[in-house]
Structure 1
Amino acid sequence: MHARPLTIITGGNRGLGYELSHQLFKIHHHDILLTARDINKAREAATRVSSGVKNGNVIRAAQLDVSSSESILRFVSDELDPLLASLAQQGNGQSLVTLVNNAGVYGQGWRETLVTNVVGPGLLSRKFLENLPQTLNGRIVNLTSGMGNAANLPSTLLRQLEEQPPKSPIEIVEWAENWKQDETGHANPYSLSKHLLNYLTELYAKEEHGRGIAVIAVDPGWVQTEMGGPGAPGTIQQGVDRMLAQVLADEHESMKRSGKVFGGVSSAALYQY
């Protein structure tokens, strides 16, 4: 007998993160750890998700600000580690634990964008991978964007990345922490952040291949969330379907996809980065 899958969703109090939490909990019977910067908003969202659902699965709410390393470390020690240890001790089969790095910002300043969209997911993923017990199966799904395509970045930056490609995820995190905008050919911060997140996906996938841990990036498309706006061509459901395709993929299929960027229920790679 296998334990129920556990899915950890950052920024789960609204938009795509909320709807993903809702559908995984209600339809697919996942246990959920839903996080938000504001613990009250996380609790309110968790209450809405679980309302009227009696599947026996569990949803928890936790405070997490992915733009703060202190918040990440506190979340790991107070919430994530005890939960993983409890799962490992249950001994009723290898449960799948998936981290969905959904939280992000758009239209903010240079430093806030890079820290929130790259540094935070990079550090949280590292802690998740380091602390995941060997008796549990793991997966990471990173929320990216077509704006991270190389076509949206300055040629000077692309040459720099080609001549000195990042060798490890932590190197990408350090770049995002320290790069100044004028050092990147004045790249759009959101485009750069998603480009670097794609790099993180590839490098973590290489590191974790031997453990059988898939690391996948998914572009939900431009959809009608608070971030995307009402004029976006896609619906929230279309975006969530693309996320679900990666979260729910079986182990064999997810390992085939590991290190790549996907953008649809057909799981066809969108672009190279």
Structure 2
Amino acid sequence: MARVFITGSADGLGRLTATTLLAEGHEVVLHARSAERLTAVRDLLDRGAAGVTGDLADLGETRGVAEQVNRLGPVDAVIHNAGVYGGPQVMRVNVVAPYVLTALIERPRRLVYLTSGMHSGGHADVSRLTRRGSYSDSKLFVTTLALAVARLWPGVPSNAVDPGWVPTRMGGPGAPDDLRLGHLTQEWLVTSDDPRAVSTGGCWFHQRRREPPPAAADEQFQQRLLAGLAELTGFRV
């Protein structure tokens, strides 16, 4: 059985992922923005899940999340699920926080980063980390991070997952994709012994690999992004 840390697991796909993994007998470490938000998953805590808190839009609190996870002991996998759709926090939550947690959490056996089909519309411009980047930019960057980590840490399967446009609070009630399929792939990638699930450097949609955006697979852009994130945060992957 795996021990899995899931960011942004108080609701939406993160909560659904945690619920499924617990039902399958895995250990889960939940994350919520605050102690008040963690009460939304009291039922999962009562079933044995652990919980950590911290606002991923804040660098200091993100570092605190990593410290809390490390105090709980090693995890087998991390699912970087937390995300926001827009506003001034989009880069901090969708890109900077996954980078910082990757740098600071004791290296797990598997990593999954949630992206979006909208990453194809992102701009390969690292300066957008510190100015008003778009949601598409952030998802291009986090896909790039997943592929960069796969290259730098060959012993740790690292993959990006597009969950599709599913009916969560972010996706809205009219979203057309299958909600179950929206969290199946990340669960499979962190627990299955299927040879495909332990591969690395993939960009996945409903358990099928897709070609990543060209920029995400470009080593030079990967290096520029990692350098920009290291400069911004003071941490190195």
TM-score band w.r.t. shorter chain: 0.7 to 0.9
The alpha-carbon deviation at position 248 of structure 1 amounts to: 2.3
| Length-normalised TM-score, structure 2 | 0.82
Mark the structure with the bigger radius of gyration: 1
Residue 35 of structure 2 corresponds to which residue in structure 1?
A: 39
Question: Following TM superposition, by how much is the alpha carbon of 1:251 offset from its aligned partner in structure 2, in angstroms?
Answer: 7.4
Write out aligned runs for 1:92-131 (5 A). Answer: 97-106=76-85, 108-109=86-87, 111-128=88-105, 131=106
8 A Cα contact 1:115 1:176, kept in partner = no
Residue 43 (structure 2) aligned to one of 41, 44, 48: 48
CA shift, 1:145, in A, is: 0.2
1:80 aligns with 2:22: no
CA deviation string 1:98-136 (max 9, x = no partner): 111000000x22x311111111111111112xx33xxxx
| Structure 1 residues 176 and 68, CA gap change in structure 2 (3 angstroms) | farther
1:246 aligns with 2:225: no
Is contact 2:189–2:198 with CA below 8 Å preserved after alignment?
Answer: no
Q: Hey, what's the Cα distance between the residues in 1 that align with 2:195 and 2:59?
A: 33
SS at match of 2:210: coil
1:213 and 2:156 equivalent? yes
**Unmatched segments (≥5 aa) in structure 1:** 88-95, 162-171, 182-187
Q: What is the one-letter code of the residue matched to 1:146?
A: G
Distance 1:74 1:271, change over 3 A: closer
Distance in 1 between residues matched to 2:137 and 2:169, nearest whole Å: 21
- 1:80 is displaced (CA, Å) by 1.4
2:4 paired residue among 7, 21, 28: 7
One-letter code of the match for 2:118?
M
Kept after mapping to 1: 8 A contact 2:188/2:197 = no
1:234 equivalenced with 2:159 (yes/no): no
Whole-angstrom distance in 1 between the partners of 2:190 and 2:27: 13
Residue correspondences, number: 214
Q: Could you say what the CA RMSD is over the residues aligned between the two structures, in angstroms?
A: 2.1
* Percent identity of equivalent pairs: 27
Post-superposition offset of 1:50: 5.5
In structure 2, the residue corresponding to 1:194 is in which secondary structure?
Answer: helix
User: Does residue 60 of structure 2 align to residue 70 of structure 1?
Assistant: yes
Instruction: Work out the CA distance in 2 between the residues paired with 1:48 and 1:227.
Output: 22
**1:241 Cα deviation (Å)?**
1.6
